[in-house]
Amino acid sequence: MSLRSSAEIFEDLKHRLSDVMPEFELRLKAELASEILKLKEEKNAVILGHNYMEPALFHTVPDLKGDSLELSRLAAEADRDIIVFCGVRFMAETAKILNPAKMVLLPTKKGGCSLASSITAQDVRDLKQKFPGVPVVAYINTYAEVKAESDICCTSSNAAAVVESLHKDSVIFIPDEYLARNVAIETGKHIIVPTKEKKESGDLDYQMIGWHGRCEVHELFTLEDIDNIRQQFPDVMILAHPECSPEVVAAADFSGSTSAMVRVVRQTAAPRYLLLTECAMGDNIIAENREKELLRLCSVRCPHMNEITLQETRDALLYGQYVINIPESIRVKAARSLERMLAVG
């Protein structure tokens, strides 16, 4: 298979990203990308990249790109020896859970997520004890131990469908409070989010029980941001990720997963658009939507996604780091929750 040279990669990056990055930086990144592509073939690896990866990485090294649901499916089907996951830890863990025979590498030691770290397996056990018999839906932004304690997983693109697939009067939906509230609105369920201060009774007079996790990026967007932008640009199309607050989601024109937002931007006739999500994604789609204007409200980057660079990805392949390992007893239980989700479609 012939690999693209660093000169070819540079020309391609220049075409896509000259508005967002200086040429000298693009040249350095093209060299690193070329090195990664060679290593990837030598090691028989596949690189998966989340939509939030920084633009020079996003456009060069991943074989496959997408949102959490798309990447979970692709990881489950990957047939190369190594999966390098350019994303955060819970995503790399998901790849390992679904495809345990492969070596899964996350190019950073940490790669956290404020949602995933907001809840532990013990918290889930406590919730189940308090609300016996109520099924637990775990957002994919959780660690393996939490998935293992849950009945089914969901992502931002199938959360409402997963909740409805259970055909239950009540569900526990963890850990994203805002996503839970947005799903409750979409599915017509009444929701409570237990707090440490206010003890809720175990009586099931509510249909959705949430948790108090928040995405540290999406919680920053406000109604005021939307009002300001609409005043200045009445013809703007506003797209919000469902990890934003329900008020922000209600005031936006569209809400959906990262890939759903990319598709809507591609299709809309609106002359300008605003993405209420991690900012790298805007840079990743401007080149293919040149006739529309991306309004840059934000400078909000996810510090965890931001840990993944071309250099870290090169080192991951070069040194075989950092290997994702999950104890088999946990992996098997977590796989059940993920496979149930994949079966929902």
Single residue of 60, 114, 141, 309 touching ligand 13P by CB under 6 A:
141
Q: Is 115 in the site for ligand SF4 (CB under 6 A)?
A: yes
Report the residue from 99, 257, 309, 313 that binds ligand 13P according to the rule CB under 6 A: 257
Binding to ligand SF4 by CB under 6 A, coded x per residue (else -) over 304-343, reads xx--------------------------------------
Rounded to whole angstroms, how far apart are CA atoms 90 and 218?
A: 18
Instruction: Render the burial of 293-314: b for 16+ CB within 10 Å, e for the rest.
Output: ebbebbebebebbbbbbbebbb
Name the minimum Å distance from CB 132 to ligand SF4: 30
Residue 12 CA to residue 26 CA, distance in Å, equals: 10
State the burial class of residue 343 (Cβ atoms within 10 Å of its Cβ: 0-12, 13-18, 19+): exposed
Q: Roughly how many angstroms between the first and final C-alpha of the chain, as a whole number?
A: 34
Q: Which one, 16 or 241, has the nearer CB to ligand 13P?
A: 241
Q: Which does 158 bind (CB under 5 to 8 A by kind): ligand 13P, ligand SF4, none?
A: none
Stretch of 107-115, 124-132, 226-234, 337-345 lying at the interface with ligand SF4 (CB under 6 A): 107-115
- Spatial separation of the C-alpha atoms in residues 269 and 214, rounded to whole Å: 33
- From the number of C-beta atoms within 10 Å of its C-beta (0-12, 13-18, 19+), residue 4 rates as middle
The runs of H, that is alpha helices, within 142-222 are: 144-148, 159-165, 177-187
Near ligand SF4 by CB under 6 A: residue from 141, 157, 182, 309? 141
Which of ligand SF4, ligand 13P, none interacts with 114 (beta carbon under 5 to 8 A by kind)?
ligand SF4
Nearer to ligand 13P, 145 or 243 (CB): 243
255 binds, among ligand SF4, ligand 13P, none (CB under 5 to 8 A by kind): none
The residues binding ligand SF4 (CB under 6 A) are 88, 113-115, 141, 215-217, 243, 278, 302, 304-305
